[in-house]
Amino acid sequence: MYWLFIATLFSFGFVQLFKGSQRRGEYAPVVVTANYITLSLALGTYLVMTGHWAVDANILKVGISIGITFISAMLMMTHALTLAGVSPVVTAFRLSMLLPVALGVWIWSEPISFLQLVGIALAIIALVLMTQHSPNAQHKHGTKIFIVILIVFLIQGIAMTCMRWVHYAGLDAQRLNVLMFIGTTAGLLGSIFVLMRRKPIQKKDVQVGIGIGLYNAIALSITLTALSMFPGTIYFPVVGCSVVLLDNLFAHFYWKEHLARPAMAGVGLAVFAIILVM
């Protein structure tokens, strides 16, 4: 369980870095793009210097596919936040863990027990509770908003499923090479998006993205290592729910955000759900 714990901590740190960037008002597409470009360059340099550089059709196929889903998920979520409230978008983003769990059982016949199913069901309830708006928050409704939120759910779920694909593609030993091409693809597509928007690129946004990218190179490497050891039916519910739990507690004690009663109940329920899934 050591790697699950480490993966949770690094995923939580990644969330906090982006939350800090958002609070400072930095332009998310530039930060995200700089993050992926830096990740790619850092891993590429490491692989060349250590003599572990490798590339073949399988690595390219998996890396490029995941890179497309990664940048699509991040940009779609950023866009969704401008249309809908934070709570429904974040909830959809978090609940997307259901997709890799379900697809893992269906496509790769990953093991799942009755207690794990109960734990996953409780995790869903906990995630919904922990991502509720305060009573005064503004909500937007309508078909367009629902479709946007559904797309966030699907793209993020597909992105996480693709991460699991690395293991079943037999690329655990080459996971850093795959990760480098993930960053390269996401960085190139993100750059095209930023240039098309024709918005001035701020030096501060790029610098923050570089810092996050260096951190993310380590965080995603740990994620792929953990996914090489644990089935998605354990990894995604445990890490996904744990990160949201830590995020809520950190928001309450560090960011001084009010933790509503439903969120407090969700924290308690999440702990119980994690125990069942493990």
- Structure confidence at residue 85 (pLDDT): 62
Q: Strand, coil or helix: what is 26?
A: coil
Question: Does residue 274 or residue 47 have the better pLDDT?
Answer: 47
12-51 pLDDT per residue, tens: 998 889 888 878 888 989 999 999 999 999 999 999 999 9
Phi and psi torsions of 142, nearest 5°: 130, 160
Q: Which 8-state DSSP code applies to residue 111? A: -
Mean pLDDT of the chain: 86
Is residue 193 over pLDDT 90? Answer: yes
106-143 pLDDT per residue, tens: 999 998 888 888 888 887 787 777 666 544 444 455 67
Residues 122, 131: Cα–Cα separation, whole Å: 14
Share of the chain above pLDDT 90, in %: 47
Q: Which 8-state DSSP code applies to residue 132? A: P
Q: Which helix (H) or strand (E) holds 161?
A: helix 143-168
Phi and psi torsions of 115, nearest 5°: -65, -35
CB-based contact 80:155 (threshold 8 Å): no
Start-to-end CA distance of the chain, whole Å, equals 9
Q: Which helix (H) or strand (E) holds 137?
A: none
- The helix, strand and coil proportions of the chain, stated in percent and rounded to the nearest 5, come to 80, 0, 20
What residues have CB less than 8 Å from 174, skipping those under 6 apart? 54, 59
